[in-house]
Amino acid sequence: MMQKRTMEIGVGVFVAAGIAALIMLAMKVSNLAAFTNQQGYEVTARFDNIGGLKERSAVTVAGVRIGRVKSIVFDDKDYEAVVTMNIESQHDRLPADTSASILTAGLLGEQYVALEPGGDEAFLKPGGDIKLTQSAIILEKMVGQFLFDKAAGGDGKKEEGAAP
């Protein structure tokens, strides 16, 4: 009977340790904390180009994360991307003329939506729409633009030099 007791205690310890490990993985290692207060409100924004933005990317104001991207769909009437964001409910005082831009964390990091509050007295309502948006900066385009400018500038100089 004593053996049975130690065996049962051992199994109890084993199962408890296993469940504790699962809980630790869920709470401490993963982003479960971000899920817990998902009650928020949604706002949408339209972008010409979202670059590498994904569902569940961060939405920030002044660098502080206040929500996440909930869904991204393509609107085939306006040929735009419609990004729906879930903003945590305590941040319900964003001005109605808030602008949204898609930025990159660091040079090659993840892309996220940065909100820039405007000066309007009215606040964005749940389900509201952000009018002012700036699309993602596409590195290839920038490089192309830069090369084009450089080439154009070079020509200008040559003409300048030739003129006198």
Partner 1 sequence: MMGWLQRLGSTSLSVFERLGRGNLFLLRVLAALPSLVARPGLVIAQLYSVGVLSMMLIVISGLNVGMVLGLQGYNTLVDFGSEESLGQLVALSLVRELGPVVAALLFAGRAGSALTAEIGLMKATEQLSGMEMMAVDPLKRVIAPRFVAGIISMPLLAAMFSAVGVLGGFFVGVGLLGVDSGAFWSQMQSKVDLYDDILNGVIKSVVFGCVAAWIAVFEGYDAVPNTEGVSRATTRTVVHTAFAVLGLDFILTALMFGDE
How many CA atoms lie within 13 Å of 19's alpha carbon, on the beta-carbon side?
Answer: 5
Minimum Å gap between C-beta 47 and partner 1 is 21
Minimum Å gap between C-beta 9 and partner 1 is 9
Rounded CA-CA distance 139/22 in Å is: 41
* CB nearer partner 1, residue 4 or residue 157: 4
Question: Per-residue x/- mask for partner 1, residues 15 to 44, rule CB under 8 A?
Answer: x-xxxxxx-xxx-xxxxxxxx---------
Q: What are phi and psi of 55, to 5 degrees?
A: -60, 145
Rounded CA-CA distance 152/49 in Å is: 26
What are the structure tokens assigned to 140, written together? 């290839």
* CB nearer partner 1, residue 7 or residue 73: 7
* CB nearer partner 1, residue 14 or residue 146: 14
Strands 99-104 and 132-134: parallel
Minimum Å gap between C-beta 106 and partner 1 is 9
Binding-site size, partner 1 (CB under 8 A):
26
